[in-house]
């Protein structure tokens, strides 16, 4: 599976439809400050299912929609499409019936995000799993945000551990542990209640 195209429309500074062809061997994007290099990486992260506004350098998810400029009004939606070459047919079932997969994410003001895979509606979770199975995705340690290296160097040990855990892909285990602890505590309360009842009966 190889990314071959990234199309942007109304995403951050890319107000007009823009088609980035990702040729094999592309190693860098250069341009003057503020021309949108980081926005391209954020578009890639976003179409793969990123849901943290902070990872998009915004306060809310709608901040990815073109906010307007002196000569152009704001847009009402943003859309990013990622085209994946699936000629080797390594995509998970459900996505694996064509040589090319096009994932589209669109956000509309006051209406949230919607995803499509080859023009069919899909859930955010399906898209996230597609990329997770291909060992990539919005949280892939291969995508390094601007400032992330100095954050890592300057972070307190606890925060640095969190970054390393995210890179190691074990952050999800904390959520599962928390859920298990809640279930354990509910079970302990139930057992205590059973003991009370048994005591009253004896």
Closest CA to 74 of 10, 9, 7, 8: 10
Instruction: Check binding of 38 to ligand ATP (CB under 6 A).
Output: yes
Asked if residues 89 and 177 have their Cβ atoms less than 8 Å apart, the reply is no
Quote the least distance from Cβ 29 to ligand ATP, whole Å.
8
Distances in whole angstroms, Cα of residue 7 to Cα of each of 68, 69, 168, 171: 20, 21, 30, 30
Instruction: Check binding of 136 to ligand ATP (CB under 6 A).
Output: no
Asked if residues 60 and 44 have their Cβ atoms less than 8 Å apart, the reply is no
Vertex 24 angle, CA 118 and 98, to 5°: 25
Residues facing residue 83 across a β-bridge: 5, 102
Candidates 4, 13, 113, 118: give the one binding ligand ATP (CB under 6 A). 13
Instruction: Check binding of 140 to ligand ATP (CB under 6 A).
Output: no
Instruction: Check binding of 31 to ligand ATP (CB under 6 A).
Output: yes
Segment interacting with ligand ATP, rule: CB under 6 A, options 26-34, 89-97, 115-123, 130-138:
26-34
Instruction: Check binding of 145 to ligand ATP (CB under 6 A).
Output: no
The site that binds ligand ATP (CB under 6 A) totals a number of residues, namely 15
Candidates 67, 122, 155, 163: give the one binding ligand ATP (CB under 6 A). 67
């Amino acid at each position: 599976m190889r990314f071959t195209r990234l199309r942007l429309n109304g995403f951050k500074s890319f107000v007009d439809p823009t088609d980035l062809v990702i040729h094999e061997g592309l190693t860098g994007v250069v341009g003057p400050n503020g021309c949108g290099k980081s926005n391209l990486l954020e578009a890639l992260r976003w179409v793969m299912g990123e849901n943290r506004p902070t990872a998009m350098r915004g306060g809310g998810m709608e901040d990815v929609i073109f906010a307007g400029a002196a000569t152009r009004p704001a847009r009402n939606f943003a859309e990013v499409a990622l085209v994946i070459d699936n000629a080797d047919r390594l995509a998970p079932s459900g996505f694996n019936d064509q040589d090319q997969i096009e994932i589209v994410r669109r956000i509309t003001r006051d209406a949230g995000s919607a995803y499509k895979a080859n023009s069919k509606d899909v859930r955010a979770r399906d898209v996230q799993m597609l990329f997770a199975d291909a060992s990539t995705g919005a949280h892939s340690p291969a995508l390094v945000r601007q400032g992330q290296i100095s954050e890592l160097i300057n972070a307190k040990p606890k925060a640095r551990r969190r970054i390393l855990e995210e890179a190691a892909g074990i952050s999800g285990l904390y959520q599962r542990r928390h859920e298990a602890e809640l279930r354990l505590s509910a079970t302990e309360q139930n057992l205590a209640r059973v003991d009370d009842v048994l005591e009253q009966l004896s």
